[in-house]
Chains A and B, each alone.
Chain A
């Protein structure tokens, strides 16, 4: 059984004007797989608690990248208020379905909508650390270049990782079937619910086997 445990913030990195990465120290952390997430719990002085799920951005330690939602309850605290040495509670790692293992040789297609890049970036980083040559293709749909997470890593992707950035506000069109490759790879799709359902439908329409299209939805778009 997974228990809540205390996590201490040790470092932050701004990814965009509205998103930041938080690096935590969690004593006794057991390690995790690329694609897994944690539940985060904040408790106010009056005992009120709020809980959210966030994907882990790497398998090298406990790092979350959080997008600030202007009407949010938890994300403004995580992105603007929380400082190093502050603590919160974490439960995890959890989720064993939306995961990629570096010993799986099958080619991989990653489809990200906005902040859905986070667990997919964990897969790209895990591939790099493991030193495997598994072919990866990333299709990252986002509104505009200012919203790009992990810009330094994605503008110069690793050998064997093909990254396409689709700026939907710039070209004034959502993701379409023409942006996506045909069947063959194992597919991981993550983003807001509407994006994930549309992208998964496009993939199945292109002939991808639904059993090889894994999805993770995180609710409303920001």
Chain B
């Protein structure tokens, strides 16, 4: 299956967060690689978006949008460093 990248998560994540999470820097829980959410390999969009680490291919983030609910699974990320501007 052909993937896109974490830039494509900016819109779906903007529904949930007030800041742009695609430029946040994440740390992979599997291999420790640090990089922008925009650089993750993203598969989807159905049944949900699955974002994998470009270093080890483990799942970092999953986002499933239901009719009235969004499910965000972040267990593959140790942390997200989110720039908030001045």
A2 to B3, CA, bound (A): 24
Residues of A within 8 A of B12 (CB): 39
Residues of B within 8 A of A216 (CB): 5, 7, 38
Q: List the B residue with the shortest CB-CB distance to A99.
A: B23
B14 proximal to A (CB < 8 A)? yes
A33 to B27, CA, bound (A): 27
Residues of A within 8 A of B45 (CB): 51
Q: List the A residue with the shortest CB-CB distance to B5.
A: A217
A220 to B17, CA, bound (A): 29
Determine the interface band of chain B, counting residues with CB < 8 A from chain A: 20 to 34
A33 to B77, CA, bound (A): 28
- Given A37-B7, A51-B45, A94–B2 Cβ distance below 8 Å? no
Q: Are B2 and A95 in contact (CB under 8 A)?
A: no
Task: Report A182-217 residues with CB < 8 Å from chain B CB.
Answer: 193, 214-217
Q: List the B residue with the shortest CB-CB distance to A55.
A: B7
Q: List the B residue with the shortest CB-CB distance to A190.
A: B7
Task: Report B21-45 residues with CB < 8 Å from chain A CB.
Answer: 22-23, 36-39, 45
A83 to B6, CA, bound (A): 32
A219 to B42, CA, bound (A): 10
B16 proximal to A (CB < 8 A)? yes
Give which listed residue, A51, A95, A193, contacts B10 with CB less than 8 A.
A95
B58 proximal to A (CB < 8 A)? no
Give which listed residue, B2, B7, B11, B18, contacts A91 with CB less than 8 A.
B11
Residues of B within 8 A of A1 (CB): 14-18
A217 to B4, CA, bound (A): 5
Q: Are B4 and A94 in contact (CB under 8 A)?
A: no
Most buried by A among B8, B16, B45: B8
- Given A51-B45, A215-B39, A94–B14 Cβ distance below 8 Å? yes
Q: Are B3 and A95 in contact (CB under 8 A)?
A: no
Q: Which 7 A-B pairs have the closest CB atoms?
A: A97-B38, A2-B14, A39-B11, A94-B10, A96-B20, A97-B23, A95-B10
